[in-house]
Structure 1
Amino acid sequence: MAGDSRFPDVDTDGSENSEEMEIVVNVGGVRQVFYGDNLNQYPETRLAELVNCLSGGYDSIFSLCDDYDPGKREFYFDRDPDAFKCIIDVYYFGEIHMKKGICPICFKNEMEFWKVDLKFLDDCCKAHLSEKKEELEEIARRVQLILDDLGIDASESRWKRCQKCIWKFLEKPESSYPARVIAVLSFLFILISSVVMCVGTIPDLQVIDAEGNRMEHPTLESIETACIGWFTMEYVLRLISSPNKLHFAFSFMNIVDVLAILPFYISLTLTHLGAKLMELSNVQQAVQALRIMRIARIFKLARHSSGLQTLTYALKRSFKELGLLLMYLAVGIFVFSALGYTMEQSHPETLFKSIPQSFWWAIITMTTVGYGDIYPKTTLGKLNAAISFLCGVIAIALPIHPIINNFVRYYNKQRVLETAAKHELELMELNSAEGKAAGSRSELEDPSREGKEGPFYSSRIKVSHSDTFIHLLSEEKHYRTRLQSCK
């Protein structure tokens, strides 16, 4: 390269001090002038290496940049100029801020190219980068799950393949039409069981046993038994087919499933065997207490409802706002109940007997329920009540907006991630089709390849032309994907 007539010889006498040297960097058409004293503050970065690369010849220069003009001493880079303008702030301010609209993952890749450590990125930008990383990991997880469902490993045993089929059948309603039918049936059984539990408490539908006690109608008990049988069979099959049984057993929704099933069997055991060990009245009380636990089965609906799952996540993310709401209400309840008790003591027929009793009045007043069982009778007491429910409305309204925003943000994010995962699969299918077409063309052009299986197809399906990385989908570092949220 040193003898190439296109480039004059590089000055290697070292006569110019690197601290005073001036270099010109052209990034995507944007020219910037730098001085060695600024760049050498961070000698590990690529720009600082440019200052000292001239003495190493063209091999050293072109290992750092895409092109070089010796006459102007100008280095050319085919990189993002907007990201570069942000990155060079580290040489002047000691920290970096991302501009709005730049993809955080692409910006991270740019920082790695310019060899600038991520520790110089401001905390607010790091949080944005972490959020995008989580999105990429979630997309990779979803795509991998879909690929696992589509792929069939012939080397696996028949039992393993049967386990996968049962797991898809019960856990993934979108995998096939029969799986959707099973999901609908499970949903209906949950509704029927909940309705039977409620209807069974109506006195007109209950029957009298030999001891004169009321009990559920036998028909309702038969329906309840059928529903519990379905829940038990479903849980056992899911447990047997689960790829990770320990994680399955301690999952929140599966614990809910167990709590919905166990009361039936424990009640059945106590009814038939408990009478021999304890008094009949104690057995009946224990059975009644266990029957109350049947309300847990209503939470099984969350398994089939993405809306309930989103609501649960939004509430989890809104603990701070909910804590503020409870704190506001607690302070208001204490203050207004104490004022109400003090102001109502002058009335001979006061309903405020004590401050703890006044807590109930303050709660139903600040939440605008107002049962009317306790109410003020004096003028000052009524004024105190008016102020208390006005403050209650304000206290409840303040945190509602952030909670709604958390719900909408999470719901929209899930839709974006789902769309991005589908887009990634479509892109992989497209690349796979292109790989097959290119492979067939090469076989036609090269007869010697007939009957041989080249590596082109396997490598082609792993590459998609885009600007962000998902390392989780492949062990190879060159795998690229197109993330819709980064556009």
Structure 2
Amino acid sequence: MASEASFQELDSGGSENSEETEIILNVGGVRQVLYGDHLNQYPDTRLAKLVNCLSGGYDTIFSLCDDYDPGKREFYFDRDPDAFKCIIEVYYFGEVHMKKGICPICFKNEMEFWKVDLKFLDDCCKTLLSEKKEELEEIACRVQLILDDLGWDKSENRWKKCQKYIWKFLEKPESSYPARVIAVMSFLLILTSSVVMCVGTIPELQVTDDEGKSVEHPALDKIETACIVWFTLEYILRLISSSNKLHFALSFLNIVDIFAILPFYVSLILTHLGTRLMELTNVQQAVQALRIMRIARIFKLARHSSGLQTLTYALKRSFKELGLLLMYLAVGIFVFSALGYTVEQSNPDTLFKSIPQSFWWAIITMTTVGYGDIYPKTTLGKLNAAISFLCGVIAIALPIHPIINNFVRYYNKQRVLETAAKHELELMELYAGEKKKGSPKEELACLWGRGKGDPQWSRRLKFSYSDTFVHLLSDEHRHHRNRLQSCK
């Protein structure tokens, strides 16, 4: 009889005009009254379906909410109340703004739960969501790379395993102590080669050849040859062990390695065979030009320095600011060089012979270098120089702050991503260790082996974002996370 009375009460509530129906919601302990005329504007949302669900019985009600009190006609939801306050704005304002401090991915999941389309999310909030997605994808890629190093596919042949071992030995200094020693030795050889290149130009350390010309000391040549042999061997081993050789060859750092190695061999070939094909003078000029290209090997330090990589990325992200800086300087150089040439023509001993020649003066003045080889002699010329100096300082100082911010932001982001990747691995090791009694790393490798063939594996890894291990949560449980998980 009680159940029949409850259904009669539901039917009577459902028979009311849905436009005038009011529903009481309890979201995370926060009660709120909403009206059907507002909610039915978007009939595909969960709240709009909730208005018209009373006539469908308890099965329909509990498919839309976590609990229901027939006496109070109150619907209960174990969701984030702060996110809900933002989401219901769509019924009043037609758009959703995300409150500051809410995780964008958690907010996206809340919108999916309430079945509010992401198109209602404001553009500024979509930007935060896309940035968070990129961070999660990068964390997932880092974790996957580490899992690839831990996992060994038993179906692979011995050559594939050897390739992976060589690649990890040369590319992953943190993988083992010998790999770290090799990385340090490679770093020291790069520095040694660069120092030898500089020291070889000191006249006191040079020797005279048979033709009476000064050349580098033979001992320095031997040191450089040993360094080049190491660089060549390292490049060949990395190329052989690479899984995607085309991508490896076109990588920027690998192109730098080629430019650091090739000049030595090309100059060696020209020295021994070029004299038979062309004049000795042309060969010497070509060899000298190739020897200058040895400065490219200093860029090999970027492979072992995260700071240089961060600086490169910050400059890449600061193209707009750098473009503004060059534009300011270009306009200032053109204007002040033309003014300087014009006002200095009244002086018969002027050093400003033409406007293009005045460009040099404008450049060194606006950049505060001031060599003094060209300088104004008239009063108006000196006034023009003072103004150009002040404008140059302002033009250079304006874009510096955004460039520094890009560097600091990227550097801090990389540190956060590294910490997050390690944290995810620790959680996975803990999960693997709880499942079996073996070594956590061994169980993690086994877990990787089982999940590698699973198409859901990468997606589960990609959507890991809380401080609890949620990679392996199934799709049907993703929306039923507890309050602690939702707040992370």
Name 1:387's counterpart in structure 2. 387
Cα 1:206/1:466, change in 2 over 3 Å? closer
Rounded to whole Å, the distance in 2 between the matches of 1:119 and 1:111 is 11
Rounded to whole Å, the distance in 2 between the matches of 1:344 and 1:478 is 81
Q: Secondary structure, in 3 states, of the residue corresponding to 1:71?
A: coil
Q: Secondary structure, in 3 states, of the residue corresponding to 2:57?
A: helix
Q: Secondary structure, in 3 states, of the residue corresponding to 1:72?
A: coil
Name 2:133's counterpart in structure 1. 133
The answer to whether the aligner puts 1:152 opposite 2:137 as a matched pair is no
Farther off after superposition, 88-97 or 274-283: 274-283
Deviations, residues 161-189 of structure 1 (Å, cap 9, x unaligned) = 11111111100111111111101110111
Cα 1:226/1:79, change in 2 over 3 Å? same
Contact kept in structure 1, 2:428 and 2:469, CA below 8 Å: no
Name 1:229's counterpart in structure 2. 229
User: How far has the Cα of 1:469 moved from its partner?
Assistant: 10
User: How far has the Cα of 1:473 moved from its partner?
Assistant: 6.8
Amino acid of the structure 2 residue aligned with 1:12? D
User: How far has the Cα of 1:266 moved from its partner?
Assistant: 1.1
Rounded to whole Å, the distance in 2 between the matches of 1:35 and 1:135 is 39
Deviations, residues 287-308 of structure 1 (Å, cap 9, x unaligned) = 1111111111000000000110
- Root mean square deviation, CA, Å: 2.9
Amino acid of the structure 2 residue aligned with 1:356? P
Name 1:98's counterpart in structure 2. 98
Name 1:441's counterpart in structure 2. none
Cα 1:478/1:60, change in 2 over 3 Å? closer
Count residues in correspondence. Answer: 464
Deviations, residues 47-71 of structure 1 (Å, cap 9, x unaligned) = 1111121121111110000111223
Following superposition of structure 1 onto structure 2, how do residues 42-441 of structure 1 map, counting pairs within 5 Å?
42-436=42-436
Contact kept in structure 2, 1:471 and 1:477, CA below 8 Å: no
Q: Given the two structures, how large is their TM-score scaled by the length of structure 2?
A: 0.89
Farther off after superposition, 144-153 or 57-66: 144-153
Name 1:30's counterpart in structure 2. 30
Rounded to whole Å, the distance in 1 between the matches of 2:357 and 2:470 is 59
Q: Given the two structures, how large is their TM-score scaled by the length of structure 1?
A: 0.89
Deviations, residues 299-328 of structure 1 (Å, cap 9, x unaligned) = 000000011011111111111111111111
Gaps of 5+ in 1: 439-454
Farther off after superposition, 54-63 or 204-213: 204-213
Amino acid of the structure 1 residue aligned with 2:192? I
Rounded to whole Å, the distance in 1 between the matches of 2:397 and 2:132 is 32
Rounded to whole Å, the distance in 2 between the matches of 1:470 and 1:316 is 36
- Relative contact order (C-alpha < 8 Å, sep 6+): which is higher? 2
Cα 1:479/1:88, change in 2 over 3 Å? closer
Cα 1:470/1:361, change in 2 over 3 Å? farther
Rounded to whole Å, the distance in 2 between the matches of 1:154 and 1:64 is 47
Rounded to whole Å, the distance in 1 between the matches of 2:470 and 2:59 is 35
Contact kept in structure 2, 1:106 and 1:468, CA below 8 Å: no
| Identity percentage of aligned residues | 82
Farther off after superposition, 50-59 or 302-311: 50-59
User: How far has the Cα of 1:468 moved from its partner?
Assistant: 4.1
Q: Secondary structure, in 3 states, of the residue corresponding to 2:436?
A: helix
Amino acid of the structure 1 residue aligned with 2:10? D
Amino acid of the structure 2 residue aligned with 1:166? I
Rounded to whole Å, the distance in 1 between the matches of 2:348 and 2:299 is 49
Contact kept in structure 2, 1:8 and 1:70, CA below 8 Å: no
Rounded to whole Å, the distance in 2 between the matches of 1:317 and 1:170 is 29
Cα 1:196/1:437, change in 2 over 3 Å? closer
Name 1:442's counterpart in structure 2. none
Rounded to whole Å, the distance in 2 between the matches of 1:274 and 1:433 is 65
Contact kept in structure 2, 1:38 and 1:92, CA below 8 Å: yes
Contact kept in structure 1, 2:15 and 2:55, CA below 8 Å: no
Q: Secondary structure, in 3 states, of the residue corresponding to 1:98?
A: coil
Deviations, residues 341-376 of structure 1 (Å, cap 9, x unaligned) = 111111121111111111101110111111010111
Cα 1:472/1:399, change in 2 over 3 Å? farther
Contact kept in structure 2, 1:196 and 1:220, CA below 8 Å: yes
Q: Secondary structure, in 3 states, of the residue corresponding to 1:415?
A: helix
Q: Secondary structure, in 3 states, of the residue corresponding to 1:25?
A: strand
User: How far has the Cα of 1:7 moved from its partner?
Assistant: 4.3
Deviations, residues 235-291 of structure 1 (Å, cap 9, x unaligned) = 000011112211111110001001111111111111222222211111111111111
Rounded to whole Å, the distance in 1 between the matches of 2:143 and 2:477 is 14
Q: Secondary structure, in 3 states, of the residue corresponding to 2:356?
A: helix
Contact kept in structure 1, 2:105 and 2:129, CA below 8 Å: yes
